[in-house]
Amino acid sequence: MNARSIVLKMQITIFALVVLFTVSGSHQVHAQFLHPKIKSKETTIRRVIVLPAKVNVVRDSMKGPEGMAAESDELSVRVEAMIAEVLSKKKNVTTVPTTGTSAEGGAQQKYDVADFQTKFDELLPKIVKKRSDVKKGRFSMGDEVLNLNLDKGADAVVFIRGEGKKLTSGKTAFRLFVGGMPAYLRLQIGIVDARNGEVLLYTDPILVGDPTTAVDRLRKALEKGFKKLPEVKAQ
């Protein structure tokens, strides 16, 4: 076997891997998992509290990744607002303001929210490892959710995590010639029962494109992400 055929074989393998990644990636776009209680309509999500989103994006340049803390904060706020909008417009789900969990509250309130967010971060890798188990009702954050003392009318709490990459113009050109990951934003959204902490829904929409500017694509990805969530009938 000569060197050229070795290179050709490697190129074919890489191509196959890229195809595989793309196929599995596109599957993830629609991945959403509902707790059996939601499917059987034993539990209905009518009113939710959206906890502050934690979305992190980096700028990928030829000289490596660079932090984008300010843009990440802005994007977190935008994602939070857009999720509330999508839930309201497409599913008739009302967003309850997070009274009692605001930053102006006392230190203990701030800690309670921070600790509950951390608890979700600890559960998240386990959910991601076997997302389909949400359908079996396997994941719960426990009744500590009640310590948040949320609005009594809230049915669920929404957790939002995200990570993304924006490419510099140099890296975009490089990608055209050499290949590599495009700019993207991957969100991980969990909806948790506000009474017992059960994970009612998990979805991880992905959008390809500049995460800081692709507003319409973000909305579309979110609409797809919540497609399976039953719509609340207007009373």
Partner 1 sequence: MFPHRLTNLIVAALSFCIVFTSVGPVALAQKKTAPVEVTPPPVREEFKFGEVDLEVLQQADLLDLRFERDGLVLADESANAFLRRVGQSLIPRGLELERVSWKFRVLRDPQPNAFALPNGSIYVTTGLMTLIDNESQLAAIIAHELTHVMRRHTYVHNRSNRKKFLTMNVMAAIGAYAPGGVVGAVITVVTTVAPFIMIATIYGYSRDLEREADLKGIDMMISAEYAPEEMVNVMKLLNQDIEGENIRLFYNDHPSLEERIKYLSGYLGGRADRVTHQMELNRERAAYFRNVESVMRHNLQLAINAGRARSAVYLAQRLVDFHDDSENLFWLAESYRTLGPRAPQLTEKELTNSAKKDAAKKSLKRTAEEEERELLATPAGKDNWQKHQEMAEQLYRRALSAENPVPVAHRGLGMLYEKLGRGTEAVAEYEKYLELAPSASDRQRIQRRMEALKEKLK
- Tell me which residues touch partner 1 (CB under 8 A): 2-4, 6-7, 10, 52, 62-64, 66-67, 69-70, 73, 103, 107-108, 110-115, 117-119, 122-123, 125-126, 129-130, 138-140, 143-144, 146-147, 149, 174, 177-180, 195
> By C-alpha distance, which of 185, 173, 196 is closest to 219?
185
Shortest spacing between CB 6 and partner 1, in angstroms:
6
Shortest spacing between CB 174 and partner 1, in angstroms:
6
In whole angstroms, how far apart are CA 14 and each of 8, 85, 91? Answer: 10, 41, 41
Token representation of residue 50: 């959206």
Shortest spacing between CB 58 and partner 1, in angstroms:
10
**Which C-beta is closer to partner 1: that of 88 or that of 117?**
117
**Which C-beta is closer to partner 1: that of 10 or that of 19?**
10
**Which C-beta is closer to partner 1: that of 174 or that of 232?**
174
**Which C-beta is closer to partner 1: that of 176 or that of 234?**
176
**Which C-beta is closer to partner 1: that of 147 or that of 213?**
147
Shortest spacing between CB 179 and partner 1, in angstroms:
7
Shortest spacing between CB 75 and partner 1, in angstroms:
13
Shortest spacing between CB 168 and partner 1, in angstroms:
11
**Which C-beta is closer to partner 1: that of 58 or that of 201?**
58
